[in-house]
Amino acid sequence: MTESLEQIAKAMVAPGKGILAADESSGTIKKRFDAINTESTETSRRDYREFMFRTTDAMKNHISGVILYDETIRQKAADGTPLVDIIKAAGSIPGIKVDAGAKPMAGFPGETITEGLDGLDERLAEYYKLGARFAKWRAVIDISPVIPTNACIEANTEALARYAALCQKNGIVPIVEPEVLMDGDHTADRCFEVTETTLRSLFNALARHNVLLEGTILKPNMVVSGKKCATQAGVQEVAEKTIKVFKRTVPAAIPGIVFLSGGQSDELATAHLDAMNKLGPLPWALSFSYGRALQAAPQKAWAGKKENVAAAQKAFAHRAKMNSLASLGTWKADLEKA
């Protein structure tokens, strides 16, 4: 293996760079395309992702890696170039989503377990050949007055650890994503408590499975109020609570933490990331691995039309730059007007 896991992980959280999550499943991308009145076909999905990967400024300067879906990692651009090669040419690292989704957990109403471990070793070996150097697996932890249960947290973090060990065996850096959902009416304090329990369980499981922390990236939620909570935690409170929970649970050996946006608005996701970096210096790099918070604006600008590609690329470059500044703690709200 030419590059070590540690080198790849470090490059994924290089200063001022973050990850583009372009790994929406066919069902999810169809919903996004329905919203912009565009038919979701293999060609339209390819055209959409291709214009992002060809946004040179964003890809070269602000995006360290791209999480792909199984279809996308095998696709060629309109001119016949593999999409993976376009990503690599921009100096970005191709990655792959490998979980098979969250399925209802038997015996635990309202809770899910992420599947996809069967045959994963062989799939990872193939993805490595296709150019992937990192992977992603998402566990979903919901909050209500009676959940999550310890059984759900432990089953999901055990699966994350088994996935991570298989990735590293195949020369692939695992992104471990335990997402505590922001649906519901819970307070930020309740989110803090569940996030703390989940992260403790995760790092215990990673240790049990001999996962190399220096070659692992964490993709967590921020500590926020539930969407339906009457009192919403402000930007500063979210930043302070999130850093506090990480200082309690995340070993300094982890090279970086890349946040999911989890349904936050574009600007709020950027503001939260910036506020956290302003609380530094911190033991780990803090950056982004946003899907919707990087793509909502370019999707709207594109609307499935060729003639809108330049405007859509401009929107994508702007969001990538704003989040890049936030990852350095140098973002300001008035820069958004640009």
219 is a catalytic site residue: yes
The answer for 262, left when phi > 0, alpha when psi is -120 to 50, beta otherwise, is left
Nearest to 63 by CA among 86, 79, 80, 40: 86
Predicted local distance difference test score (pLDDT) of residue 323:
98
Specify whether the CB–CB gap between 223 and 192 falls below 8 A. yes
Q: How far is CA 299 from the centre of its chain?
A: 18
Number of residues written out for the chain: 338
Q: How far is CA 101 from the centre of its chain?
A: 15
Please tell me whether residue 15 adopts helix, strand or coil conformation: coil
What class is the 5-337 domain? alpha beta
Q: What are phi and psi of 107, to 5 degrees?
A: 85, -5
Predicted local distance difference test score (pLDDT) of residue 337:
84
CB atoms within 10 A of CB 141: 23
- Write out the DSSP string of 275-321: HHHTT---SSEEEEEESHHHHHHHHHHHTT-GGGHHHHHHHHHHHHH
CA distance 190 to 177: 19
Choosing from 24, 111, 158, 177, which is the catalytic residue? 177
Where in the chain are the domains?
5-337
- CB proximity list for 71: less than 8 A, separation 6 or greater: 26, 42, 45
Predicted local distance difference test score (pLDDT) of residue 1:
45
Nearest to 94 by CA among 61, 116, 127: 127
Nearest to 184 by CA among 231, 227, 234, 147: 227
Choosing from 17, 219, 241, 321, which is the catalytic residue? 219
Please tell me whether residue 81 adopts helix, strand or coil conformation: coil
Predicted local distance difference test score (pLDDT) of residue 3:
82
- CB proximity list for 230: less than 8 A, separation 6 or greater: 185
The answer for 101, left when phi > 0, alpha when psi is -120 to 50, beta otherwise, is left
Q: What are phi and psi of 105, to 5 degrees?
A: -90, 120
Residue 326 is encoded by which pair of tokens?
């936030």
Q: Provide the pairing of β-strand 102-104 with 112-114.
A: antiparallel
State the residue for tokens 């070269």: 60
CA distance 45 to 26: 9
Predicted local distance difference test score (pLDDT) of residue 261:
94
Specify whether the CB–CB gap between 231 and 225 falls below 8 A. yes
Low-confidence ranges of the chain (pLDDT < 70): 1-2, 338
DSSP state of 214: G
